[in-house]
């Protein structure tokens, strides 16, 4: 997404990451440096969780 909110070239993961980021900053304080450095870790965890949920070989899926 660019500054003007142009989503024409964004894939579905881009939409998910944008909405996750908006939710993350709405629950945070106004310290932007801490918000952005904390987002790196949170974003990595959310991406990992998202790929695990779409993975058909998860620990609870016994039959593919």
Mind listing the pLDDT tens digit for each residue in 8-40? 777 777 777 888 888 888 877 778 888 888 888
CB 24 within 8 A of CB 42: yes
Residue spans of alpha helices (H) in 1-64: 12-26, 32-54
| Inter-residue contact 43 to 21 (CB < 8 Å) | yes
In angstroms, the CA 14 to CA 47 distance is 11
Contact predicate 20/39, CB 8 Å: no
Please check whether residue 60 lies inside any domain of the structure. Answer: no
* Overall domain count for the chain: 1
pTM of the model: 0.54
> Residue 63: what pLDDT?
60
Residues spanned by the domain of 42: 13-53
């Amino acid at each position: 997404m660019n500054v003007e909110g142009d989503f024409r070239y964004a894939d579905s993961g881009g939409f998910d990451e944008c909405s996750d980021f908006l939710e993350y900053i709405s629950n945070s304080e106004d310290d932007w440096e801490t918000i952005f450095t904390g987002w790196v870790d949170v974003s990595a965890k959310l991406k990992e969780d998202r790929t695990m949920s779409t993975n058909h070989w998860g620990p609870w899926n016994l039959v593919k």
